[in-house]
Each structure stands twice: as structure tokens, then as C-alpha cells.
Amino acid sequence: MLNIFARASVSRVTDPIGAWLLARGLTPNVVTVVGTAGAVASALWFIPRGQLFLGCALVTFFVLLDLIDGAMARAQGPTKFGAVLDATCDRIADGALFAALTWYAFDTGARWTAVAGFVCLVASQVISYVKARAEASGLSADGGLAERAERFIVALVGAGVQGLGVPHLMDIALWLLAVMTVATVLQRVLAVAKSAREAA
């Protein structure tokens, strides 16, 4: 949802950075892999140890590299391999974040929050899979309440601010996201059904 409104504004910032990095010999694929590795390492190392704010701040930094690699790909010309690599790395980073939050919740005895984290982990992967499978079949499954940007914003802000001492904010964020991600799965399945009817 945010992607529709923010893409043009963000591109004005990221496009010059992407062009600058390309001029210095970096490739979009390198930036994709570095960003994913950094996000995964930050999430799985800091968040389960209870360093929520630091972990979320570092994950945010590395996830923002995803905007830069997109700008680089647009400037250089996207490749099919780059698109698949980017989508694959997005799923890995998504999984690492929600796995880390679920792990932390279990370790601190917040079992119901861990359940919400697990729902977010599974549903976020399904959201992306429905779209990919639909597009492979020539159908459409765009949109929804909780696309990738919304998922990261809600999860990282909720956990990060709880790390600054605001109690239960991560619990609220994960339960809100659990509802939103399940709703998004349903929205995308319905969008595929509508697209299939229109294509028949």
C-alpha cells in the first residue's frame, strides 16, 4: 500500500545514490546480498539477546539498501537473475526478522506474542508466494493491507521502541501485523480469483 504513494518520493533520493555506486563499480546484486546478509545477521544476533533497539536499527539500515539496489538496477537495466535474487533475498530477510522476534518472545515467556510472530512469519511468506505464483500463471495479485514496507515498519517500530523501554509495544505490533498479514493473504487470493474470472 505504501509502495504506491512513496515510490516517486523515495526514488528522488535513491536514484542519485544508485548512480553514484554504479559509477564506482558496485553492482545491484552485490548490494542486494550485502544488505540481506547484514539484515539477517543483525536480526538473529541482537534481537534474541534482547537488544531490540540496536537490532531493529541495524536491520532498518540494511533493509534500506534494498531501495538502493532497486535504484541501481533501474539505472543499469534490470536483469532476470537480479529480479529473482532480489525477491529471494527479500524473503530471507523477512523470515529472519520474524524468526528473531518470535525467538525473543519465546525466550521471555511471551508465548502468545510468539504465536503472533509465527503467524507473521508464515503469512508474510505466503503473501509473496501468492503474488509470484499468480504472475507465473499470467494473473494479477497486487496490493493488500500489509505489503513488505508496512510489515517492516510496524514490526521494527514496535520492537525498536519497546527496546527503548515502552512495554508491550512489540506485542501489540505483532498481533496487529498477524491480523493484517492474514487479511492480506485473503485479499491476494481474492484478487487472483477475480483476475482468473476476467481472463476466462
pLDDT tens string 80-114: 998 899 999 999 999 999 999 999 999 999 999 99
Q: What is the 3-state secondary structure (H, E, C) of 67-116?
A: HHHHHHHHHHCCCHHHHHHHHHHHHHHHHHHHHHHHHHHHHCCCHHHHHH
**pLDDT band at 161; cut points 50, 70, 90:** very high
User: Can you tell me the mean pLDDT for 19-36?
Assistant: 88
The CATH number linked to 63 is 1.20.120.1760
Interaxial angle between packed helices 148-163 and 80-107, expressed in degrees from 0 to 180 and rounded to the nearest 10: 30
The reply to whether 200 falls in a domain is: no
The answer to whether residue 25 is domain-embedded is yes
> Is it the case that residue 13 has pLDDT exceeding 90?
no
Q: Which residues contact 180 (CB under 8 A, 6 or more apart)?
A: 145, 146, 150, 151, 154
pLDDT band of residue 9 (cuts 50, 70, 90) is: low
Predicted pLDDT of residue 199: 84
Least confident window among 119-123, 139-143, 193-197: 139-143
Residue 22's pLDDT band (cuts 50, 70, 90): confident
Q: Which of 66, 69, 90, 94 is catalytic?
A: 90
Cα–Cα distance measured from residue 33 to residue 92, given in angstroms and rounded to the nearest whole number: 11
pLDDT score of 6 more than 60: no
Is residue 40 included in any domain, yes or no?
yes
Q: Is 15 marked active-site?
A: no
**Looking at the domain assignment, is residue 79 inside a domain?**
yes
- Yes or no: say if 89 and 32 are a contact pair by the CB < 8 Å rule: yes
One-letter amino acid of 126: V
Direct distance between the N- and C-terminal alpha carbons of the chain, in angstroms, rounded to an integer: 28
Domain boundaries, position 84: 2-195
How many structural domains are present in the chain? 1
Between 43-52, 59-68, 147-156, 180-189, the lowest mean confidence (pLDDT) is in 59-68
Interior/surface letters 117-156, b for 16+ CB within 10 angstroms, e for the rest: bbbbbbbbbebbebbeebeeeebbbeebbbbbbbbbebbb
User: What's residue 190's pLDDT?
Assistant: 93
What's 166's DSSP letter?
Answer: -
Q: Is 17 among the domain residues?
A: yes
Q: Is residue 169 very low, low, confident or very high in pLDDT (cuts 50, 70, 90)?
A: very high
